Structure formats: C-alpha cells, structure tokens
Amino acid sequence: MKLRHGKQLGGKFFSCKGIKIVVDFFLNRGHTEIKALIPRFRRGNSDHECPTRNPEILDDLEEKGYLSYTPSRFVKDRLIVSYDDRFILKTALHYEAVIVSNDNYRDLMKENPEWKQLVETRLIFYFIKF
C-alpha cells in the first residue's frame, strides 16, 4: 500500500515530507526566500488523531532557514495554539510574498484591508491528486 501525504488508511497524519516538497518546488524554480510557518506543537506531536511523521525534516528546514514555528505550548496538559493564520498573513505582507494554502482566510480578510488585498492577489491554492 502506498501512503499519501496527509492521508493513510483509516486516518490522517501531518506530512513533514509534504512541506519539504513545497519548499523544494520553489527552490527548483529559483526562489531563495522561502518560509514555511508551522505550529510548534507539530515538532514533537504524538497526537493520535493527526500524528506528525518524519519531524526531522522540519529540523532540517528550520536549520536551513526555510521554516519557522508559530507559538504553541502545553499548560496543565492542555494545548494552547496561537492563531497561525495571522502569522502567515503578517509574514507574507512583510516579505511581499505569496501564500500557498487551501485556507481562504475569510475571517481575517474582514479584519484588515491589507490582508484582504493580500489574500485576493497572492494566495495560491494547491491541489493534491490521489
């Protein structure tokens, strides 16, 4: 059985390899300033509903400067995660970058006119063929 990124028989997993594929795609196209933003809890996640596979890939991408973590932490066995969509939009705006995501960011488009324009003009959806 061949496993796909983010999906496996009977469940899902967080695909670090999928993040690397996207980074490599842009590197192969000649881009040098690439930043993937991932919630920190993904780095050692053993969540049974959506476990992280191959977290060493994230270490390598971070070491090379292609990945940054958004804040998250455990408080009394409860995971507290920042709203990483805001980090993504702020980072893309700062670097005048495109966003590769299937998120529509509808809620954040209403918060800030700059974010609205960013989402309308620089959001690239991806399609995974299964």
Max CA pair span of the chain = 47
Average pLDDT for residues 92-103, to the nearest whole number?
Answer: 93
The pLDDT value given to residue 3: 40
Give the predicted TM-score (pTM) of the model. Answer: 0.79
CA-closest candidate to residue 59, choices 71, 42, 47, 76: 42
87 burial (CB, 10 Å; 0-12 / 13-18 / 19+) is: middle
pLDDT in tens, 1-27: 334 455 544 457 778 888 999 999 999
CA-closest candidate to residue 105, choices 25, 95, 92, 94: 92
- Using pLDDT thresholds of 50, 70 and 90, give the confidence band for residue 46: low
